[in-house]
Copies of this chain bind each other. A is one copy, B any other.
């Protein structure tokens, strides 16, 4: 399951949603807004997406992950809009029969998400300036 949301991500509910009787391992990843990037102080982030394509890519990542590991359940959720330091911007929950699978599947899903999904963040620095983050550009 994949979701884009403007509300707080309910990662506790996500953890419950992926529990399965035939899965002995659950891995939950949370990405949160950090207060420091290098030497600069972040006070907030704004996330925007190309929503239709972002949902399509998230669904493809779910499908790819299910092809590679025996996933019981997987949820990828990304928040959009204005987030303060400490807020959860992204969450991935995965259940698998065994722990190595669950770790690898969760790691793969978040790595692919960061590589492929058309979502962008804008830094709001403590000096009042803002800056879109475009790695390599």
Q: What residues of chain A have their CB less than 8 Å away from a CB belonging to chain B? A: 11-12, 15, 19, 21-36, 85-86, 97, 99, 102-103, 106-107, 110
Contact = CB atoms under 8 A, between A and B. Distances in A.
A32 B27 CA distance: 11
B19 A24 contact: no
How many identical subunits does the complex contain? 2
B86 A21 contact: yes
Contacts of A11: 15
Contact of A24 (B21, B32, B107): B32
A41 to B, nearest CB: 11
A107 B104 CA distance: 10
Nearest to A32: B24
Given A28-B28, A99-B110, A35 B22 contact: yes
